[in-house]
A and B are shown apart, each in its own frame.
Chain A
């Protein structure tokens, strides 16, 4: 049992993080052409709405919910100190979880019942569907059975995650958690590990830059103000683009 705990709660996170870091950087720098998700909306645009929208908004809020609990555990505990606020947090998180699960199931059915989508689906997509559906189901199961997750996450899991990042992994508390929680952790790190090898890579390139860039983009091959000036050796002004 201890070997299993050590492997899944210490070794796996480090393997996952290493794969994630090295793989993502490699894919971005060497396979830039493939850093995106292969959208299938063009081939099937109606049923996608009932899958992609609930799934993405659900995962968007839940991802940041978990992240906030990791980054500001005291803040979460302080928020939870009043039962009303705790209930608001837990219930909204549960709703997002359900939205995510419904979205995923819709996406899964859509992808495997629409004939055209067979030709833009690969094996990794199936792996992702299975992992994400299992993960979401376990998340909901945990939220329902082991209350209140937001509080004990901040006291139990946040120190564990910190210990991993501090390179002094401490699993004394985590190894005592119920098996459902452990599986949730294991699948989470597995998903992190396969990000660079799957369509999940697209969330790393969410185009935030769009917010502050000007709408129109012009690119020049040369510095147009200096190219004709005899005073500047224009071959020294190498372009920033391309």
Chain B
């Protein structure tokens, strides 16, 4: 057993309201620079949609991630042989137009334009050339299903869905969508690290954050190809690749990453997981249907004495083990088995987990004869007179699961490599928690029924209350359990303080030498 600790995340998609505050927080701190304008280390996509860069999930186009062929797992579009022979020209590199050409507006023209017969306008100009451009694409171009004909319908996750199922998804009155916020997954088997010819990318041992050393990066751009999530970006101005750093300077100071701190919907959870690094190799070699479960099996119980002993042997600090025991991520992923990795079939073992969204399916839409019901209603109350019932009732247990507005297969393609049962299992749990809480707060659900639902979902009452607490009430300290980084020790490791004692002042790393 080779126990390591990893800072990992859970995003609760039911809670995401698609406000992009996370993206803006990240942009303001990290990517508001020349050459980085187009980068969104954190971005929020509307699903169904093609995402950013366009159709990033389709690895037949971008050739990212790992592929299993004849029992061997290797990088799909990079690697030692491919990487070094394609080093003169990377055939699978996305270009700027796959993302979008960054632009701004000539706002000053609104103020400084000379007097004339027409209103001054702020023309869009490219942030690369400075020339006026015709904007063809932008971040979140397909936000909230805008332009669905071009974007939503080209979503790679729609594969395996029948034409009829797709038609249902895109019928105007039945349309449903959800948001998918994405950052770097800080994978356990990162394709970007494996693809970097210069060896500039590495995973930090202590917390698992994947970083690019800007001094060593030689701009071979293989990581951009290799990352199946397209979360490594090439800075065309600096000639370096850049990626999400999980705000490690903030983490080391005990602060939550900016995207998580600013999250309005409070959908984000961050905590430590202990995992067995010896299992990585076996896990990535498993077949698709076993992959998701095996990924979760790598995560170890931080309360297990054996695990604690082994963790200590491996130099994991007591404070980190303590943080792992209170990790909200551990609860969501391992204890409640509610969260799933995004596109586990890329075999990078992503350490960002998602609670699949229930809301688009919670209600089903059916045509009923509701004349009797409407008579009973208060005459002032509004009701739909077109006989379409937006049914949110709990009359039938999990009844709406069988008539979902949102095809199960679609979510299964994203979160469980096509296994619909896994998504259904999560949905049952999410609904069971709701029914259980309805019993407690509204009281129109009988104990018998609520218990039956909990049993069917495989939850105890305490677990259901725990899920409710962490989902709905959790405070800042519950959502972000950040272990101390012990930077004081690390700094002493990097610079031996005795060497420089008495010779340097505040702010100097080298001796402040003076000329004549």
The interface of chain A, by Cβ under 8 A from chain B, is 32-33, 35-45, 48-49, 52-53, 55-57, 115-116, 118-120, 202, 205-207, 209-211, 213, 215-228, 234-235, 237-239, 242
Contacts and interface: CB of A to CB of B under 8 A. Distances in A.
Interface of B: 80, 83-84, 87-91, 93, 95-96, 128-129, 131, 189-190, 193-194, 196-199, 201-206, 214-221, 234, 236-237, 239-240, 312-316, 489-490, 492-494, 496
A202 B198 CA distance: 12
Contacts of B84: 207, 210-211
A235 B492 contact: yes
- Decide if the interface of chain A is mainly helix, strand, loop or mixed: loop
Contacts of A211: 80, 84
Contacts of A116: 96, 128-129
Given A211-B84, A242-B494, 10 more contacts: A33-B214, A33-B215, A37-B239, A206-B87, A209-B198, A211-B80, A213-B199, A218-B203, A222-B315, A228-B312
Given A36-B217, A38-B239, A39-B221, A239 B80 contact: no
A207 to B, nearest CB: 4
A94 B489 CA distance: 61
B314 A43 contact: no
Nearest to A235: B492
A35 to B, nearest CB: 7
Given A33-B214, A120-B236, A242-B494, A41 B202 contact: no
B206 to A, nearest CB: 6
A39 B315 contact: no
A234 B488 CA distance: 13
A120 B217 contact: no
Contacts of A223: 315
A221 B196 CA distance: 21
29 contacts: A32-B215, A33-B214, A35-B218, A41-B221, A43-B95, A43-B96, A49-B91, A55-B88, A115-B131, A119-B129, A119-B237, A120-B236, A202-B218, A206-B87, A207-B218, A210-B84, A215-B194, A216-B203, A219-B202, A219-B205, A220-B205, A221-B489, A221-B493, A223-B315, A226-B315, A228-B312, A235-B496, A237-B493, A242-B494
Contacts of A44: 95
B26 to A, nearest CB: 21
Contacts of B492: 235
A48 B199 contact: no
Contact of A210 (B80, B190, B489): B80
Given A33-B214, A41-B95, A235-B493, A207 B315 contact: no
B346 to A, nearest CB: 15
Nearest to A48: B89
In the A-B complex, the 5 residue pairs with the closest CB atoms: A224-B315, A207-B197, A220-B205, A56-B88, A215-B194
